[in-house]
Amino acid sequence: MSLVIALNRGRILAECLPLLAEAGIEPDEDVRSSRKLIFPTRRGGHKLVIMRGADVPTYVIHGTADIGVVGKDTLLEAPPTAGYYERLDLNIARCRIVTAFAEDAPPECLAYQPAHNGAFRVATKFVNVSRGFFAGKGRQVTIIPLAGAMEIAPTLNLADCIVDIVDTGNTLKANGLKEHETIAHISSRLIANRASMKTKFDEIEALLSQLRAAVERRGQADGGGV
């Protein structure tokens, strides 16, 4: 049977396509130069569907896609669900979710305590992750949801700190911020629809086996395993 595979566009897609190619799954045309969103594969009759990361779990949960590749940050932020299995860490698109402060933040802020009257303010797009993190520390905070430009929130006094995803940390530094604590290490994960794991078990397990071998080969080439 063929598989419908939902892929997170952007960096995850760029790093995932070579892994899929090692497993024998390649689109029938160059994904990067096309405006199409659905691509048949050259072999196997599979379909690759390109979408926003936040939509990948939705398509997998509803069974429109049999499997999906998405960042762990998206899975952590989404409400808990039993609609899919998280089957494999692909060890690509690695980054981390961190708290970050202005370089001149006072000591009380670094302890997640307000340096002013009122609650400690956190700007982030990771609302659920942030709530869980600060609740685990016993801190009461006010979450300020932002879709982007988190780095300017402390500078403009919108928030005391931010919770954001970083790779090199260069953007934080360029905006006068510094990392404080790592909340979670992030990489891309393969998730599978629960029903598809029954109806297409052999196909999914075969793909998982090939991808797992490819991930292990890359880990060995990097000198450390996965």
The verdict on 13 and 88 lying in the same domain is yes
In a domain, 41, yes or no: yes
Domain holding 135, by residue range, is 95-185
The verdict on 117 and 132 lying in the same domain is yes
The verdict on 196 and 215 lying in the same domain is yes
Q: How high is the pLDDT of residue 223?
A: 66
In a domain, 226, yes or no: no
Percent of the chain scoring above 90 in pLDDT: 88
Token representation of residue 6: 């939902």
The verdict on 173 and 198 lying in the same domain is no
In a domain, 101, yes or no: yes
Residue with tokens 């793909």: 207
Average pLDDT estimate for 212-217: 94
Q: Is the pLDDT of residue 116 over 80?
A: yes
Tell me the three-class secondary structure of the chain, residue by residue: CCCEEEEECCHHHHHHHHHHHHCCCCECCCHHHCCCCEEEECCCCCEEEEECHHHHHHHHHCCCCCEEEEEHHHHHHCCCCCCEEEEEECCCCCEEEEEEEECCCCHHHHCCCCCCCCCEEEEECCHHHHHHHHHHCCCCEEEEECCCCHHHCCCCCCCCEEEEEECCCHHHHHCCEEEEEEEEEECEEEEEECCHHHHCHHHHHHHHHHHHHHHHHHHHHCCCCC
Structural domains of the chain, count: 2
Average pLDDT estimate for 21-34: 93
Average pLDDT estimate for 66-76: 97
Q: How far apart are CA 190 and CA 126, in angstroms?
A: 21
CATH number, domain with residue 18: 3.40.190.10
Q: How high is the pLDDT of residue 226?
A: 41
The verdict on 99 and 164 lying in the same domain is yes
Percent of the chain scoring above 70 in pLDDT: 98
Kindly report, residue by residue over 145-202, the tens digit of the pLDDT: 999 899 999 999 999 999 999 999 999 999 999 999 999 999 999 999 999 999 999 9
Q: How high is the pLDDT of residue 224?
A: 54
The verdict on 111 and 69 lying in the same domain is no
Q: How far apart are CA 10 and CA 188, in angstroms?
A: 12
